[in-house]
A and B are shown apart, each in its own frame.
Chain A
Amino acid sequence: MKAILVLTSLGIISLLAEIFRFRRALYPIVILGLMGAIATTVSYWWYDDGDFAKYFGGMINFEDSSVIFSTIIISTGLLWFLMSDTFFNKENPRTDLVALVLFAMVGAVILTCYTNMAMLFLGVEILSIPLYVLAGSRKDSLSSNEAAFKYFIMGAFASAFLLFGIALVYGATGSFNLGVIGQVVEAKKEVLPGFFMVGVLMLVVSLLFKVSAAPFHFWAPDVYQGAPTHVTAFMSTIVKTAAIVAILRLFLSVVFDDITSFWMPVILVCVGITFVVSNVSAAVQNNVKRMLAYSSISHAGFLLLAVGAFNAYSAKAIVFYTAAYSVGSILAFAVLTNVIKDHTGGPVESFNGLGKKNPFMALVMTIALLSLAGIPPTAGFFGKYYVFNAALQAGHVWLVILGIIGSLIGVYYYFRIIIAMYFKDANEEASVEPSKQHQLVMFVTAVIIIVLGLLPDLILGIGSAAEVVAAK
């Protein structure tokens, strides 16, 4: 909760910066504020404001899993701000863009702690509406406009599904409160009306849309490619984490645990389709940005597989996977923005000869891609390992095989970039030298990836606390 207050105030401060002319000081203020938000979030473990929560009428409950996912989201946000100084011009920042990003993060944090359907809807909307605008923030670019429109119209459609689903669930159970809904479902699981099931199905559809899993992924490649690259990095890390936490709190908890036989096949089928569609499509892309978009769809499949496993390993796997994936994506996008200046992305050939031109960037990009592909000793390997472990315990052998085949195809398309960097000659001698700050972000994220890959227990110990949510 305190994180929500800090982030909201930061957003308002950045709007005031325009009026009171301290725009130049804004960037350091935001960085410090985000550090403060992380500190207040983590301090929950030592200073529990449990009594605080009862004044919120059961709307939000900041528990262990909320602390973990909020920390992941805000830390990713901090890294994102550090890599995106060129996006809103660090020296004289566009205050409206800064504020919108911070407000979107408020929505993401709400999604980690909601216990009421009204808060779920608010969280999804607060996360989405700033992003519709941010996707179209390059007004001079046709593809950015297209991305904004596509995202907005499809997103509004998904919100309608979400509301309809919430309304039907409310009609059957008489409550917006997740705890009460869970009790009613448990008490009446034999006599639940059919429209309740339709409501649950609509919730699944709208949330799968937000996490961009196939077959609800059609917006993602165009939006990810058309939006400014920094916004794409934001969408594929923070938005994805927030959406999967929203799914986790709704489905991997006591709310719908008595009707798993109803919703689980739906999610598992979507996981299977996601593995096939995303990886095959990514393999035929030549535009690096579009390829990363398809790869992020495939990662959504892995996260959903952990939800579909529905056992004690699921929450742990999701914590590790979101952390590893967010850090890896931030690093990949940080390098991408430095190598390809065109905001619609560029061909794989843009990376030709980077190993000679800038060995540091080539090395960290290799680490990021290895992590995304899931090759040891990087964090991504353990992410996939824990997801597969959870799925095998639940007996989804075929999906694990599909996931492994998907990862193998993934190795092919990620290695195309690595091969281009080290074994192809540069076609022009334009030097690419990232700023000191970007080098720092790249270095830190690369170290995190390697450390998590060598010592996965560091985060797993914390991850087991997230099982509070996963009741089974």
Chain B
Amino acid sequence: MNLTLTEILFFVLSAITIISGALVIFSRNPVYSVLYLIVTFFAIAGHYILLNAQFLAAVHVIVYAGAIMVLFLFVIMMLNLNETTEPKTALWSKFAAVIAGLTFLPLLVGALKTSEAVVMTQPQNSDIGLVKTLGQVLFTDYLVPFELSSVLFLSAMVGAVLLGKKSTEETN
């Protein structure tokens, strides 16, 4: 089996992603979970670079591995979470969760089994992930969603202020 460099990188990155993703769930200490999550995010950013999407990779690292992770760590340290404070889940609810999860697993596995084997191809247009191409698409084809997402962010911002500020007058 001859593997190209891209394929080797793909498999290595995939292995890192899956293993660190599993470790996020299985570590008992929430701080470790967050650190493994950072590894996962970096591995996914690597996948983006393999797909020739440098901009997406950079944004992914800055936003997820940077900003969101800091928030996570901040919250965990504020609440002083550790193994001892972890709430005990009842056995029956663990049981129910496992069953609910396992009913979805065969569906996904079966769905992927029926589909054709995935063939790895290079993107036809090698500039597809560059900032220039992205900007062009964003301001032509996707102009409407781009502009309307400002409404989404505005309402999220107003909502955060509304919930965060000290209320002087209460609503009825």
Stretch among B18-26, B32-40, B60-68, B139-147 lining the A interface: B139-147
A109 CB to closest chain B CB (Å) equals 11
Docked pose: A197 CA to B156 CA in angstroms: 33
Q: Is B149 an interface residue (CB 8 A)?
A: yes
Q: Is B148 an interface residue (CB 8 A)?
A: yes
* Binary per-residue interface labels of chain B (104-130) against chain A in the complex, 1 for a CB within 8 Å, 0 otherwise: 000110111111100000000000000
Query: Please, which residues of chain A bring their CB within 8 A of the CB of B59?
Result: none
Contact of B151 among A94, A126, A136 (CB under 8 A): A126
Q: Is B5 an interface residue (CB 8 A)?
A: no
* Binary per-residue interface labels of chain A (229-253) against chain B in the complex, 1 for a CB within 8 Å, 0 otherwise: 0000000000000000000000000
Stretch among B7-15, B42-50, B73-81, B157-165 lining the A interface: B157-165
Q: Is A57 an interface residue (CB 8 A)?
A: yes
Q: Are A87 and B172 in contact (CB under 8 A)?
A: yes
Q: Is B152 an interface residue (CB 8 A)?
A: yes
Query: Please, which residues of chain A bring their CB within 8 A of the CB of B161?
Result: 96
Q: Is A130 an interface residue (CB 8 A)?
A: yes
A-B contact count (CB 8 A): 110
Stretch among A98-106, A295-303, A345-353 lining the B interface: A98-106
Q: Are B115 and A195 in contact (CB under 8 A)?
A: yes
Q: Are B167 and A59 in contact (CB under 8 A)?
A: no
Docked pose: A193 CA to B145 CA in angstroms: 29
Query: Please, which residues of chain B bring their CB within 8 A of the CB of A139?
Result: 163, 167, 170
Query: Please, which residues of chain B bring their CB within 8 A of the CB of A194?
Result: 110-115
Query: Please, which residues of chain A bring their CB within 8 A of the CB of B159?
Result: 100, 129-130, 132-133
Contact of B171 among A15, A97, A106, A107 (CB under 8 A): A97
Given A136-B163, A193-B116, decide whether A89 and B171 contact each other with a Cβ distance below 8 A. Answer: yes
Query: Please, which residues of chain B bring their CB within 8 A of the CB of A133?
Result: 155, 158-160, 162-163
Q: Is A228 an interface residue (CB 8 A)?
A: yes
Docked pose: A60 CA to B113 CA in angstroms: 35
Q: Are B148 and A129 in contact (CB under 8 A)?
A: no
Contact of A8 among B151, B163, B171, B172 (CB under 8 A): B151
Size category of the B interface is 20 to 34
Contact of A104 among B149, B155, B167 (CB under 8 A): B155
Interface SS majority for chain A: helix
Q: Are A140 and B170 in contact (CB under 8 A)?
A: yes
Query: Please, which residues of chain A bring their CB within 8 A of the CB of B140?
Result: 57
Query: Please, which residues of chain A bring their CB within 8 A of the CB of B70?
Result: none
Query: Please, which residues of chain B bring their CB within 8 A of the CB of A195?
Result: 108, 111-112, 115
Given A100-B162, A129-B159, A198-B108, decide whether A118 and B145 contact each other with a Cβ distance below 8 A. Answer: yes
Docked pose: A461 CA to B172 CA in angstroms: 40
Docked pose: A125 CA to B150 CA in angstroms: 12
Docked pose: A292 CA to B94 CA in angstroms: 33
Query: Please, which residues of chain B bring their CB within 8 A of the CB of A132?
Result: 159
Q: Are A103 and B144 in contact (CB under 8 A)?
A: no
Contact of A87 among B116, B155, B156, B171 (CB under 8 A): B171
Q: Which residue of A lies closest to B160 (CB)?
A: A133
Docked pose: A88 CA to B163 CA in angstroms: 15
Query: Please, which residues of chain B bring their CB within 8 A of the CB of A67?
Result: none
Query: Please, which residues of chain B bring their CB within 8 A of the CB of A57?
Result: 140-144
A262 CB to closest chain B CB (Å) equals 12
Q: Are B115 and A118 in contact (CB under 8 A)?
A: no
Query: Please, which residues of chain B bring their CB within 8 A of the CB of A136?
Result: 163
Q: Is A458 an interface residue (CB 8 A)?
A: no
Docked pose: A201 CA to B114 CA in angstroms: 16
Q: Are B162 and A97 in contact (CB under 8 A)?
A: yes
